[in-house]
């Protein structure tokens, strides 16, 4: 029974695998998509920060300008910002605003002072959308300092996604800030398609959380010793399967193009780009070979178990059963027939011992002879079973 149980365990472990097999090339392509997206997003954020700071530096070097004029000139020069605002740092009043309304509840002492002063911040609007707030100080002589704020939509990098591929930007805690690729699915009609869309959106949320956790590692410790390539942390993930397709994902943290470069503002925001693609699960040749090997091994164990059972029955169980019957016969006083012979092993030694005992009790052919057997039987009758 133990051998049969081992055969069943072997068939389960080495037999048909329950996990879908994803080609390494598919996972690698997802990782490269995420790395390209991270590079593009880092460059875009750094460019926006540089443009606003360069504008503020140029304004501070010239004559004082009215806030309305500053925003008008900024809007004509750059059209990438969704909203701009000038705030008086002394009083906190809004001096001018253009475009999308920028909430100011997130402005506090930590934003304006210390080591994190004027570092871009991600702010969620009342509509649920996320905006990246970029800041610069306008400082003219004989005027209170003013804070120039520009908001940008934190959009997914404009990379050709192709059919069924989606991308997301996740924050440090794993929260999905922006996605791309799900928009075209809004016009779905069937319930099955909508169910699959909900499944993919949940998978994106779960995988983004896992990716954000992985990217908290240091780029040096996250890689194998001596490995090169993308300067940040990147890798692949495999999600759940649905309707014959398994979800694959690649992730990459925003990192400077040069590991020694320290001026990338975007690289310090803790953002992660995740690229996701559901693919058809396949069975590789190695998995098929493993399945065949498992079945052969399980079959061999079954045959071995049957052979072991047959040998134990022929060499152990049947002789023991015969010895048991012989001992019962001798105990009843039937000493006429000799004890059967056995071929080798413990059964033969026990059989010889029973035969000697039969002779000592006076069985025919034994040392005591027939009369000894009659005396022993008579004595047994006289004294009872207990004395015998």
In contact, 246 and 278? CB cutoff 8 Å: yes
3-state secondary structure of 146: strand
Look at residues 235, 147, 236, 243 and name the one whose alpha carbon lies nearest to residue 194. 243
Arithmetic mean of pLDDT over the chain: 79
Q: Which residues of 277-316 are buried (b: 16+ CB within 10 A; e: fewer)?
A: bbbeeeeeeeeeebbeebeebbeebbeebeeeeeeeeebe
In contact, 211 and 224? CB cutoff 8 Å: no
Q: Give alpha helix (H) positions in 259-367.
A: 285-312, 318-331, 345-360
DSSP state of 176: E
End-to-end Cα separation, the chain, in angstroms: 42
Provide the pLDDT for residue 289: 61
3-state secondary structure of 87: strand
The tokens describing 18, both together, are 């329950």
In contact, 179 and 128? CB cutoff 8 Å: no
* CA pair distance 222, 234, nearest whole angstrom: 8
The tokens describing 86, both together, are 């000038």
Check residue 238 and give left, alpha or beta (phi > 0: left; psi -120 to 50: alpha): beta
Taking the alpha carbons of 215, 217, 218, 224 in that order, is the dihedral positive or negative?
A: negative
Chunked mean pLDDT (size 10), the chain, 388 residues: 76 60 81 89 88 89 88 82 88 88 83 81 82 88 88 78 79 84 62 79 89 82 67 86 84 75 75 88 57 75 86 86 87 85 80 86 62 41 37
In contact, 298 and 11? CB cutoff 8 Å: yes
* CA pair distance 173, 177, nearest whole angstrom: 11
* CA pair distance 339, 330, nearest whole angstrom: 9
Length of the chain: 388
Provide the pLDDT for residue 224: 65
Provide the pLDDT for residue 18: 52
In contact, 100 and 83? CB cutoff 8 Å: yes
Provide the pLDDT for residue 365: 65
* CA pair distance 300, 4, nearest whole angstrom: 10
In contact, 350 and 323? CB cutoff 8 Å: yes
* CA pair distance 301, 310, nearest whole angstrom: 14
Provide the pLDDT for residue 372: 42
* CA pair distance 252, 41, nearest whole angstrom: 11
The tokens describing 311, both together, are 């040998």
Provide the pLDDT for residue 86: 92
List phi, psi (to 5°) of 161: -85, -35
The tokens describing 192, both together, are 């099955």
* CA pair distance 337, 329, nearest whole angstrom: 9
Provide the pLDDT for residue 223: 72
Place of tokens 């037999």: 15
Check residue 181 and give left, alpha or beta (phi > 0: left; psi -120 to 50: alpha): left
* CA pair distance 265, 52, nearest whole angstrom: 13
- C-alpha pair distances (Å), 167 with each of 118, 164, 248, 253, 315: 29, 10, 12, 13, 69
Provide the pLDDT for residue 261: 58
């Amino acid at each position: 029974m133990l051998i049969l149980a081992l055969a069943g365990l072997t068939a389960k472990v080495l037999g048909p695998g329950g996990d879908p097999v994803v080609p390494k090339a598919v996972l690698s392509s997802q990782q490269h998509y995420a790395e390209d997206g991270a590079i593009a997003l880092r460059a875009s954020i750094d460019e926006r920060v540089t443009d606003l700071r360069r504008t503020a530096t140029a304004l501070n070097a010239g004559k004082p300008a009215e806030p309305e004029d500053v925003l008008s000139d900024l809007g004509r020069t750059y059209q990438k910002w969704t909203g701009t605002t000038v705030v008086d740092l002394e009083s906190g009043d809004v001096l001018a605003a253009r475009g999308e309304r920028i909430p100011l509840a997130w402005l506090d002492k930590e934003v304006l002072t210390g080591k994190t002063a004027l570092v871009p911040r991600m702010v969620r609007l009342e509509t649920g959308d996320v905006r990246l707030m970029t800041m610069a100080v306008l400082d003219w002589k004989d005027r209170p300092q003013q804070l120039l704020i520009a908001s940008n939509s934190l959009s997914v990098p404009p990379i050709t996604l192709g059919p069924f591929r989606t991308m997301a930007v996740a924050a440090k805690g794993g929260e999905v800030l922006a996605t791309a690729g799900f928009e075209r699915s809004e016009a779905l009609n069937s319930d099955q398609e909508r169910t699959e869309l909900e499944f993919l959106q949940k998978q994106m949320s779960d995988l983004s959380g896992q990716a954000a956790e992985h990217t908290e590692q240091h780029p040096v410790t996250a890689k194998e010793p001596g490995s090169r390539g993308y300067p940040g942390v990147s890798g692949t993930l495999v999600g759940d399967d649905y309707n014959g397709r398994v979800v694959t994902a690649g992730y990459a943290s925003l990192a400077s193009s040069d590991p020694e470069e320290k001026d990338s503002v975007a690289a310090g925001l803790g953002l992660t780009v995740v690229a996701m693609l559901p693919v058809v699960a396949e069975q590789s040749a190695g998995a098929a070979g493993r399945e065949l090997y498992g079945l052969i091994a399980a079959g061999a164990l079954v045959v071995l178990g049957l052979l072991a059972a047959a040998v134990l029955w022929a060499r152990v169980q049947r002789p023991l059963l015969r010895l048991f019957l012989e001992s019962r016969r001798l105990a009843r006083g039937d000493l006429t027939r000799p004890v059967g012979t056995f071929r080798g092993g413990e059964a033969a030694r026990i059989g010889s011992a029973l035969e000697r005992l039969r002779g000592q009790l006076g069985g025919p052919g034994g040392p005591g002879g027939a009369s000894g057997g009659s005396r022993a039987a008579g004595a047994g009758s006289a004294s009872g079973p207990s004395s015998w």
